[in-house]
Chain A
């Protein structure tokens, strides 16, 4: 039990938080696509849906139509990059969701990371989700970033939508954002930190695994 409780600390020692763009490339070599939910097996026994935050319980109920058991975690590592909840690290919680449309991105903020148990009696059915709120699009007369699509930047409102569940695979990348006042409204400039130029994804001819 003590070792289990210390798991986050031990993980941090073995896999320290990257502080450089180049280090994340190296970490991606030794990581799986996602740290998954399996390491949390056993935690569901003491974590029922009763101990979950009300907003998350409602979100699970709305999504699955029934109250399911879930276990919360503060972060998840995908391809060597750490994604956290907003209460832990606002920058690491800022994610772009895949929109399915080339060059289009949807910024959101992770509120909770939950492994949801689809079958009460089988912990292997746990699937990890992020509960996130999307940032609302900006309603402005002039967005200077539209003219430069290769920058993958744009204006968004600082207002957030309702909490929604997304599978881990829906996370595309992190984004950086700068809160500003634009046309007398509270806005933020969102800039994608994707390692791929979105505008050209359709014409890609070769791809390498991040190495250097």
Chain B
């Protein structure tokens, strides 16, 4: 049973200041939609994801943050079943509310889930849209195949969707090819395609990193508005902590495929306890930043077989045991933290 349909709330709804509204709504819907437990992903000898655990409530937004190579996109691809054995090795478990275990799900199971329950917005809309087909064809395909609509119903719904993501002159846009649209418009089309089959979980992999700042604000706002309206959940993959603090309820900080700190974004980002979270925060430029405190270079290597914390060799607070014993992810002051020597 879908909680709300697009046509129930046509046009733009003016929303009260969004943080308050979101908080009240997440309180109403606190059942977990997604649970990920000890997810491990291996590629050859390398351990790309190392016992990643988190859960996501219905209606909440979660941000996966970290440097490149932290495994953010890998998690997103695994959650939509695009990284599966035999290409990679999967261990642990993850499941959506109402589905069985998905770590070893079959092709048939995924075909039933992709689009219907989980949809993805990719980073590079220009590359994700097929240049050979019109926008209309690309948005109507899931409507017809997944939602089972007829040709004219699909067309109507496509126009409705394109209008809801702020594309003006939608009927004419149906026959446009991706290259005829600007980057922001392409990203809107991809959001419309992702939303077309009313998924419960939307995965947005750096949806705005190729866009201008004013367009970035529009797109983030659009994703938040649309997911909230459908009471869907959203996972953002981001590298900008400031942006993450603005659009995510929960945050998962990843380093080298390990979760180092996770919890409500206010708690984690206002007073980070893991030295890595603190260091990432120190790299964010704000308008009044006087001096940056860059991390020493040396991105984590997946080949490293260090038994301990992967951040230890860059960490200013590392102790002797950090490199030897992996710290457990334990509940500390309103968050979960994996560190032997927290701030």
Q: Please determine whether chains A and B interact with each other in the same assembly.
A: no
